[in-house]
Amino acid sequence: MSESPTHSMFSLRGELIAALASGFLLLAGFLLERVAHLPWGSVLVWASLAIGTVYGGRPALDSLRRRTFDIDVLMVVGALLSAALQHPEEGALLLFLFNLSGALEDLAMRRTEREVKALHKLMPTDALVWRESAWIEADAKSLVEGERVKIRPGERVPADCVVHVGSSSMDQSAITGESMPREVKPGDDLYAGTINTDDALECIVSRPVAQSSLQRILDLVTKASEAREPVQRTIDKLSEPYATVVLLVSLATVLVWKFALQRDWESSLMTAITLLIVASPCALIIATPTATLAAIARAARGGVLFKGGHALDLLSSVGAVCFDKTGTLTIGRPRLYEVHPVAWSDGKELLALAAGLEADSTHPIAVAVREAAKERNVEPVHLDRVNHTAGRGLEGVYQGRAVRLGSLKHTHDIIPACFRNRVQDVLAKIQERGHIGVVIAQAPGDQNDPNGAGGQAAVLIMADAVRPGAHTLVRELHALKVKPVRMLTGDNKATAARVAAALELDRFDAELMPQDKLDLVAEQRKSCKSEPGRTYRGVAVIGDGVNDAPALAAADVGLAIGAIGTAAALESADIVLLSDNLGAVPWAVRLARRARLTVKANLAFALGVIVLVGLGVLVGSYLKRPIPLWIGVLAHEGGTLLVVLNSLRLLAFPKMPATAQTAHRPVRNPSLAAPAPLSPHQQPAA
């Protein structure tokens, strides 16, 4: 449909009104002529035909100007021939339903496009930026890297930036599909289009608007909505020659019926016209694109970006999944689960000392310590003369006594001698379980001081936290007949075994180099394709989109997860999951399979109408029991409308379960079921 002004007679609204008006005139004329037997009822029928010809003839003339012969031409030819044979009511019915279905199809496609392009509305137009020693309002597109912007409560982030001053909560739901706000603090990345829900922030622009994560997503969605599936490309190529063949077959039918079967001209022409209308592939042509665009739109609204219908088709056939571990199954940074006291402490005092030592550090272990202290309502204490020794740990002074945090070697000298072997044993057990152990120790007080305290030590037990949705991932994928669910990681075997056991993965491979991952993906693909009785044969690789790019490219379909700000993910993967939510993986597989079933149902229905009703037209006419033209019209146009409505059902595809939508928060994130506490140490007598 050509672009027209919103309120012009050939706009979508104008065509819809004209189609309804022609239908009303046709019904009124039919009732007046056939029921009330008023001869001027035929005037209303011809008026209906005229309106239908104006609106149906416009695209037909456009096609003829381009020297193409398509469905628009077929429909107008059929209607005019019907009218020429003194059946104007059937020609008017054809054009009424044809124009109505075309308007409704465009309406449906525009609704789908609105779903896809809704992200455009997230792009802010204004920004509060520090320029010439003052905060001024400026066009967001004018922002450059390094400029300072202020984001007030309720405002959208104008461009990708890094928090410089302040902390707040960010609503990312419109982009990532996460239902809970994300807590941010200095040093955290913010993405264009997200909403500040709490306190004001000052941020440093990291990328201008044209290069922002949101703009890359918009480009990706637009490209995906324009991409054509192989099935659709084939149908598009065949549509014009098919229309020509339909016309030639209809002409041949006229000749055969007239000269071979000795039928009169009127019945021969009516048979040919009915066949021409029934065999026109309207429903067949829109069967795939309406379903594909509706599925892409629904996925985008749920935080899953498909790079076109081809990616949708590939995901629907997946029967095995290979996950990366760090950054994919897990968050990629440690979380403190247990403070295991070794000497004279309940752990809280030493955790306060550890949080005080790590107060100014940005190391992942420091973040884990501070978050654990906050979660346990432990206030960090202030230490004097805090120093960092590269590769070993931190040291400070509290109440005149040395405090150290780090490796056993770094803390060894201040741990009471009677506890050193115990600390070493605890660390060995932790390492066997694939966890991280960090020692915190405080030196004993002055022995000559009657109030002097004994030395104390504890081991901080840490492990990488898994992403939301990981605990139910294997069960959900198995329910979809996706097996094995396999982990490929470069991490050590002990850590990999812990994660695999906790998540009940079918198989894992550890200590892999990138080439090893490629080889194992190729092996898994070969296994899936050769396994007898397997319904789904494709292999998906799911990674963080950076170091997993080669494996993503080698898979049947690659998915990058948690990658809103990762350019490599947007480029290397077929599908991008914008949130940290692993529950989106089985949800996306279900949506892809529903879309495939919808396309198959659409194609089967469209072909069935063409073949069965077409044969019925020929056989009925041959047996001198012809199918009326109006039945052929209803079968053809009704099939088109049903295909459109069936496709639009995908827009109502259910949301992800609430448990899978829980956003990642650093402290409350689901764990691998925190490691079971080590057996308590029996403290020696003083």
Catalytic residues: 324
Cβ-contact 663, 182 below 8 angstroms: yes
Give the integer Cα–Cα distance in Å for 460 and 594: 47
Q: Where are the beta strands (DSSP E) in 10-140?
A: 126-131, 134-139
Q: Where are the beta strands (DSSP E) in 380-509?
A: 384-389, 393-398, 401-406, 436-442, 456-466, 485-488, 507-509
Q: Distance of CA 221 to CAs 120, 217, 580, 594, 599, Å?
A: 10, 6, 19, 20, 20
- Report residue 665: phi and psi, to 5°: -120, 135
Give the integer Cα–Cα distance in Å for 316 and 314: 5
Give the distance from CA 279 to its chain's centroid: 37
Cβ-contact 454, 342 below 8 angstroms: no
41 Cβ neighbours under 8 A, 6+ residues apart:
28, 29, 30, 31, 32, 33, 34
Describe the crossing of helices 230-255 and 309-316 by its angle, rounded to 10 degrees: 100
- Report residue 159: phi and psi, to 5°: -160, 165
Provide the total of helices (H) and of strands (E) in the chain, helices listed first.
23, 22
Measure the N-to-C terminal CA separation of the chain; round to a whole number of Å.
90
| Residue that is written with structure tokens 């001198």 in the block | 624
DSSP H or E run through 270 = helix 265-279
What secondary structure, in 3-state letters, does 652-683 show?
Answer: HCCCCCHHHHCCCCCCCCCCCCCCCCCCCCCC
Helix (H, G, I), strand (E, B) or coil at 224: helix
Give the integer Cα–Cα distance in Å for 596 and 312: 8
Burial 208-228, CB ≥16 within 10 A → b, else e: bbeebbbbbbbebbeebbebb
Give the integer Cα–Cα distance in Å for 586 and 104: 33
Give the integer Cα–Cα distance in Å for 403 and 382: 12
Question: 152: how many CB neighbours lie within 10 A of its CB?
Answer: 10
- Report residue 457: phi and psi, to 5°: -155, 155
Amino acid at 497: A
Give the integer Cα–Cα distance in Å for 507 and 483: 10
Cβ-contact 445, 397 below 8 angstroms: no
68 Cβ neighbours under 8 A, 6+ residues apart:
240
Give the integer Cα–Cα distance in Å for 223 and 72: 27
DSSP code of residue 281: -
138 Cβ neighbours under 8 A, 6+ residues apart:
126, 127, 128, 129, 131
- Over its C-alpha atoms, the chain yields an Rg (Å, rounded) of 34
| DSSP conformation letters of 511-531 | S--HHHHHHHHHHHHHHHHHS
| Residue that is written with structure tokens 């009218």 in the block | 83
Cβ-contact 603, 611 below 8 angstroms: no
CA-based nearest residue to 609, from 279, 179, 312: 279
CA-based nearest residue to 72, from 52, 48, 86: 52
